[in-house]
Chain A
Amino acid sequence: MPSHRPGLYIHIPFCTRKCLYCGFYSVPSPSHGLVSAWLSSLKHEVLHYRHSFAAFDTLYLGGGTPTCLPSEILSDLMEWVLKHLPFSSDSQFFIEANPGDLTKEKIEAIKAMGFNRINVGIQSFCDPELKFLGRRHDATEAVLALQRLKDACVESIGIDLIYGLPEQSMDEWLRTLESTISFRPEHISCYELTYEKGTPMWEMKKQKEIRPIDEDTERDFFLMTDRFLEEHGYIHYEISNFAKEKRFISRHNIKYWQHVPYLGLGPAAHSFCGSRRWWNVRDIKTYCKLLEQGKVPVEGSEVLTDEQILMEYVFLGLRTVKGIDIKRIADIPGATETIYRLEQQGFFNIKNGTAIPTLKGFLMADTLSSILLT
């Protein structure tokens, strides 16, 4: 459920190996030395923010692949964080996990550290697709990992999927969705494959080694995903996110879409508070060096004007079923009339002064934001 209390994000910049599509900052198979240097720097960074934020009610350990680190390191980190940063009693603790790492022992260790929400990077239940994406696990491992999580009675299991791969058929995607719901996960994220600049996948597209699916197919995938998951009782609450029930809507992620403060720690992490956004240096060595020198590892920051805040409010509002409060856009020239016109065209439902994007609206969210804002 939404809250206005801040969230904490910690970026784990390591993984066993890089997936071909991944544009996040991470160092594959790090040396022991690098991991300990990072941990000690991160501890320093935690101390920097000791008194800056009110009690957090979420913690999200993302990456990279947090579970590729040994449990001792993870629990060392968690102990430190919980000791030095304030958390409210009902806090939710999220961790991203690779199915290949989820042994019974690992799951128990993670639970013992306090994590009650585990998001598993399943991506697909189809081996050739997993291979294409450059994942290190296969479908069998994925199934095993999910069964173990079920057996361990984790409070909330999240499954992350990727669709829209070149040459992927709708049937193949539906099979992945069917396998997914057979575990009745509390949360499902379905991301269309994006070609991020600088990744091998982007390069393959550029060299025309692979041919991305066309826009009509993208549309069919998107609509089919929505239809399938809604039929199975899931709430499509954000463009790429579904929850089994309202209470399983990701309390952490919605902070990003509602300008709720969040603190991001670790290389390349972004933070937001009030009207200020800042981001850490990407390079892990620079990150460690700055912290060793007693400095914050911030690379840049921006202070948003009211106009910019409003702009973000609109395009973020277009992404979730929370929608846009029409009163708030009164000052954008033409926006109010436009939003009523777009309602007529089926892109919004307007209830009690709030414009909530329809499925058609989700599908065209970027165009809608251009229409309303430019």
Chain B
Amino acid sequence: MPEIRNFSIIAHIDHGKSTLADRLIQMSDLVGKRNFRNQILDNMDIERERGITIKSQAITLPYTNAEGKNFEFNLIDTPGHVDFSYEVSRALASCEGVLLLVDASQGVEAQTIANLFLAMEHDLEIIPVINKIDLPSADIDRVKNEIEEELGLDPDGALLCSAKEGTGIIEIFDAIATFIPPPSMDIDAPLSALIFDAHYDPFRGSIISCRVFAGQVRAGDTIRLMSNNTTYKVEEVGIFRLEREPRQALYAGEVGYIIAGIKTVSDTRVGDTITLDKRPAPKPLPGFTEVKPVVFSSVYPVSSEDFTSLSDALAKYKLNDASLIFQKDSSAALGMGFRCGFLGLLHLEVFQERLEREFDQYIVMTVPSVEYRFLLSNGETVTIDNPLYYPDPATIVKAMEPYIRASILIPERYVGQVMELCMERRGVNSKLNYTSRQRVELQFDLPLAEVIFDFYDRLKSVTQGYGSFDYDILDYRENDLVKLDILVNEEKVDALCQIVHRDRARIRALAVCERLKNEIPRHMFKIPIQGAIGGNIIARTTIPPFRKDVTAKCYGGDISRKRKLLEKQKRGKKRMKMIGSVNIPQSAFVAVFKTDT
């Protein structure tokens, strides 16, 4: 029997996690180079393009060491972004150890530390690995120093590798075998298995990825999901190789999949415990929470006759993304659509891209919003995630918005700029900790609404790429919140309105007007663009009309060219939304939330 080791790779974004995962797969006994494809764990195109992993997945790697001893290494992949920290925690709960990957030139960053804390909370064995040592900018001594000072880990235990060039990989395998403890294997206890992921298969329904902590499960068993006591009959169990590989049973200590005729992934919640219906575990595994969306936005088809098609696409999308929530919504400007909730802005952006790319939907999304609470004069508290439903200002006694605690890790020299950025974003209660001699952890309480725009991009730019960021949701706090309306050609565009702090309203309004001015093509008439609070115009700009628009020559060959241009424009119009007499391109709605103030 091979020995089992369950582990994850944790790293700050871009530190080479996927490349290392590729190498481990490639150099295990599982695959020859023949059918190897870069970044096997990332199934989706977007993930490959953006270099991030969104859905966790697992793979079982057979490995034989120099002494001829056989192992089965279960690599559990984790999403690498702050929006998905709950999923990360469930993946880590399924492991006994982690490879903590640090880029040899970037060094320790905010997510490295956040991930380390998560790993420590789960009592995992931590093996530091310094990656990208082949880079000319690699500074191994400095990084070792950071590992010691900032992470408090033994730098001599750090392994060196270049996942790209394939060096140091065998040493990593041996360290996994040596240092990560084997799982406990109480196969006679009642079944207790942790769901750390689920994905949708059109023929089989939800494929549950799980780690068995106790007992065993096999086809024919009736399982029970402990969060809601639903029961299902198991059709198949197995482990993940390059493809699913059915097995007789999954035993305590193992990582694999269960197929049980569950129709959607929404019925299989990450963090839930699976047990047997006849002989249930006394209590569920700890740590289950229901994930709640924090960012909301409405999605509309560009052309209203595509509503049904959008509706179908969302239903299909939801099959594979349990954290997306949506319900019907309508807008005067944009017609019928859906209000959607997301775990964060990245989740939203991925959603938008996938809907367009994989589901062929032309969509318009509204300005993202957080969930606000308003205490009204009648004593009632209303919760609003859509600025359209901002209450009558005369009835508002108290307006509240969610805050986060941001942890920002930066080289000392950027403290000034980052403080300024956070203050500008209404940050309060700052704390400054020196994690090492040149490095600082800044803590700030920030309104979530200020972070969901482009906070992370701005942080990257003011710190020239050296700043990193992580956050936790804190609480609700009272603020002076107003509704900012945007008028295009004197018409209020409801899809563009947003709730903002009064002090920030003007600067936000100006930015939105400028963005719209750059995105909306000129028309034959002058188009005023205005920002308003109630009846007060607080910002204004104008798109000048065409003064002259005619081609001088149109003979033989010019005619086809001109026609093709018009045909192209006609196709482009499908991506425009007519508001009053103004054509607003889809890109204008997107540009509004890329606003950089």
List the interface of chain A (C-beta within 8 A of B).
Answer: 9, 191-194, 215-216, 218-219, 222, 239-240, 253, 256-257, 262, 264, 268-272, 277, 279, 302, 308, 311-312, 315-316, 319, 345, 362-367, 369-371, 373-374
Q: Are B548 and A373 in contact (CB under 8 A)?
A: no
State whether the Cβ of B560 lies closer than 8 Å to any Cβ in chain A: yes
- Contact (A373, B554) CB under 8 Å given A215-B548, A218-B548: no
In the complex, what distance in Å separates the CA atom of A256 from the CA atom of B553? 11
Q: Are A319 and B554 in contact (CB under 8 A)?
A: yes
The residue that A366 contacts in the complex, of B550, B560, B570, with Cβ under 8 A, is: B550
Q: Are B560 and A363 in contact (CB under 8 A)?
A: no
Q: Which residues on A sit within 8 Å (CB–CB) of B563?
A: 308, 311-312, 315
Shortest distance from the beta carbon of A344 to any chain B beta carbon, whole Å: 13
State whether the Cβ of B549 lies closer than 8 Å to any Cβ in chain A: yes
In the complex, what distance in Å separates the CA atom of A271 from the CA atom of B560? 11
Q: Interface residue tally of chain B, by bracket?
A: 20 to 34
The residue that A192 contacts in the complex, of B524, B547, B552, B562, with Cβ under 8 A, is: B552
In the complex, what distance in Å separates the CA atom of A316 from the CA atom of B549? 15
Q: Are B566 and A373 in contact (CB under 8 A)?
A: yes
Q: Are A270 and B556 in contact (CB under 8 A)?
A: yes
Q: Which residues on B sit within 8 Å (CB–CB) of A222?
A: 548, 550
Most buried by A among B524, B550, B553, B567: B550
List the interface of chain B (C-beta within 8 A of A).
Answer: 524, 546-557, 559-560, 562-563, 566-567, 569-570, 572-573
Q: Which residues on A sit within 8 Å (CB–CB) of B569?
A: 370, 374
In the complex, what distance in Å separates the CA atom of A354 from the CA atom of B555? 23
Q: Which residues on A sit within 8 Å (CB–CB) of B553?
A: 191, 194, 240
Q: In this complex, what residue of B is CB-closest to A191?
A: B552
- Contact (A219, B547) CB under 8 Å given A277-B560, A315-B566, A370-B569: yes
Q: Are B570 and A373 in contact (CB under 8 A)?
A: yes
In the complex, what distance in Å separates the CA atom of A219 from the CA atom of B560? 26
In the complex, what distance in Å separates the CA atom of A249 from the CA atom of B123? 91
Q: Are B555 and A253 in contact (CB under 8 A)?
A: yes
Q: Which residues on B sit within 8 Å (CB–CB) of A272?
A: 556
Shortest distance from the beta carbon of B489 to any chain A beta carbon, whole Å: 15
In the complex, what distance in Å separates the CA atom of A268 from the CA atom of B555? 13
- Contact (A264, B556) CB under 8 Å given A363-B550, A366-B550: yes
Q: Are B554 and A366 in contact (CB under 8 A)?
A: no
Q: Are B546 and A268 in contact (CB under 8 A)?
A: no
Shortest distance from the beta carbon of A146 to any chain B beta carbon, whole Å: 23
- Contact (A365, B566) CB under 8 Å given A9-B556, A256-B555, A264-B556: no
Q: Are B549 and A257 in contact (CB under 8 A)?
A: no
Q: Are B548 and A256 in contact (CB under 8 A)?
A: no
In the complex, what distance in Å separates the CA atom of A34 from the CA atom of B306? 59
Shortest distance from the beta carbon of A340 to any chain B beta carbon, whole Å: 15
- Contact (A256, B557) CB under 8 Å given A222-B548, A373-B566: no
Q: Are B566 and A256 in contact (CB under 8 A)?
A: no
The residue that B546 contacts in the complex, of A240, A316, A364, with Cβ under 8 A, is: A364
Q: Give 8 closest A-B pairs by Cβ, nearest first.
A: A270-B556, A374-B570, A219-B548, A365-B550, A192-B552, A367-B549, A366-B549, A374-B569
Q: Are B552 and A215 in contact (CB under 8 A)?
A: no
Q: Are B559 and A312 in contact (CB under 8 A)?
A: yes
Q: Which residues on A sit within 8 Å (CB–CB) of B573?
A: 374
In the complex, what distance in Å separates the CA atom of A215 from the CA atom of B550? 11
Shortest distance from the beta carbon of B219 to any chain A beta carbon, whole Å: 58
Q: Are A269 and B556 in contact (CB under 8 A)?
A: yes
Q: Are A364 and B548 in contact (CB under 8 A)?
A: yes
Q: In this complex, what residue of B is CB-closest to A314?
A: B566
Shortest distance from the beta carbon of B544 to any chain A beta carbon, whole Å: 9
